[in-house]
Amino acid sequence: MNNKITRHYQTFEELRKTEDDGVEFWFARELQGVLDYSRWEKFEHVINKAKAACENSGQMVSDHFHQAVKMVQIGSGAQREARDYKLSRYACYLIVQNADSSKPVIANGQTYFAIQTRRKELEDDTGFQQLTEDQKRLMLRNELATHNKQLAAAAKEAGVESGLDYAIFQNHGYKGLYGGLDNKAIHKRKELKKSQKILDHMGSTELAANLFRATQTEEKLKRDEIRGKRKANKTHHEVGAKVRQTIKELGGAMPEDLPTPDDGIKQLERKRKKLEDSQ
């Protein structure tokens, strides 16, 4: 990642504000500048598309897009009132999803806010927080299995057709997320047996990182209408690297440095079934 991309990630975090009650938000006019929109009228068009997407998702628009007023410079040191919005993290996510994806900063914003939104969902989900680490692993592994099927379908649509093609495609994503390590290198680092799968021997944090990689790659392949194996591989690597950079900016441990659980997913499933049968 070059310094420009790193700076964008830092800016997204630096723009975050917090209300007295702890609720966080971003000002739309500040986000406008970071997302490289010179005119408010064009950016407000993106905001309106995001508001429509919010409504279509069943959310209350007013919960995520709160109208506000901001003083702006009009020359000679004078100021005037201008319309603004206090945006939730979800609102920011919808904005970058509907913005001009040809801008490099938009692609970075899509990954940043997608990860942040999902992290917040899990933090606020009382049911998820009450799960044990093993239960979280089982849930995330099942979710990842579903999204990997969707990723495979999106990759096939992009031109990744054979089994070998898909293995190469997957390795590009792993290399981006794991700082150059491919499936075989990760497998070796985890000291797994030949028959063991790396995804079955990850903790919940590592599984979540791979879930972000899979979902964001699937979305980007579809959204940008990526065509050709080479472009698909490049996209997967870029998304993996952006997820890695976001984790770094948030102060998290790198995926390859996370501990490998003693029990694999199959062992956990057997234990769960045995427990259910005994009840």
Beta bridge partners of 66: 86
Beta bridge partners of 167: none
Range of the structural domain that residue 215 is part of: 125-269
The token pair at 143 is: 């979710």
Q: Are residues 131 and 219 in the same domain?
A: yes
Residue 106 covered by a domain: no
Strand (E) or helix (H) holding 83: strand 78-87
H helices present in 99-162, as ranges = 104-124, 126-129, 133-158
Per-residue pLDDT at 251 exceeds 70: yes
Nearest Cα to Cα of residue 185 among 233, 257, 258, 256: 256
| CB distance 268 to 275 below 8 Å | no
Residue 119 covered by a domain: no
| CB distance 217 to 151 below 8 Å | yes
Q: Are residues 245 and 153 in the same domain?
A: yes
Per-residue pLDDT at 171 exceeds 50: yes
Q: Which of 65, 81, 99 is the last residue of a domain?
A: 99
At residue 68, φ and ψ (nearest 5 deg) are -145, 175
Domain count, the chain: 2
Q: What is the CA radius of gyration of the chain?
A: 21
Region 246-275: mean pLDDT is 89
Residue 177 covered by a domain: yes
Q: Are residues 166 and 200 in the same domain?
A: yes
Q: Are residues 90 and 138 in the same domain?
A: no
Q: Which of 82, 99, 116 is the last residue of a domain?
A: 99
Per-residue pLDDT, 2: 47
How far, CA to CA in Å, does 270 sit from each of 128, 136, 141, 207, 250? Answer: 21, 16, 15, 20, 35
Q: Are residues 180 and 232 in the same domain?
A: yes
Q: Are residues 183 and 239 in the same domain?
A: yes
- Taking phi over 0 as left and psi of -120 to 50 as alpha, with beta for the rest, 157 belongs to alpha
Q: How many CA atoms lie within 13 A of 173 on its CB side?
A: 24
Q: Are residues 149 and 238 in the same domain?
A: yes
Residue 277 covered by a domain: no
Q: Are residues 262 and 142 in the same domain?
A: yes
Q: Are residues 28 and 158 in the same domain?
A: no
pTM above threshold 0.75 = no
Q: Are residues 164 and 205 in the same domain?
A: yes
User: For 126-166, what is each residue's pLDDT tens digit?
Assistant: 777 788 899 889 989 998 999 999 999 999 999 999 999 99
Residue 6 covered by a domain: yes
User: For 68-119, what is each residue's pLDDT tens digit?
Assistant: 887 666 666 667 778 899 999 889 888 988 888 777 778 777 777 777 777 7
Residue 120 covered by a domain: no
Q: Are residues 87 and 174 in the same domain?
A: no
Give counts: helices (H), strands (E), the chain. Answer: 13, 4
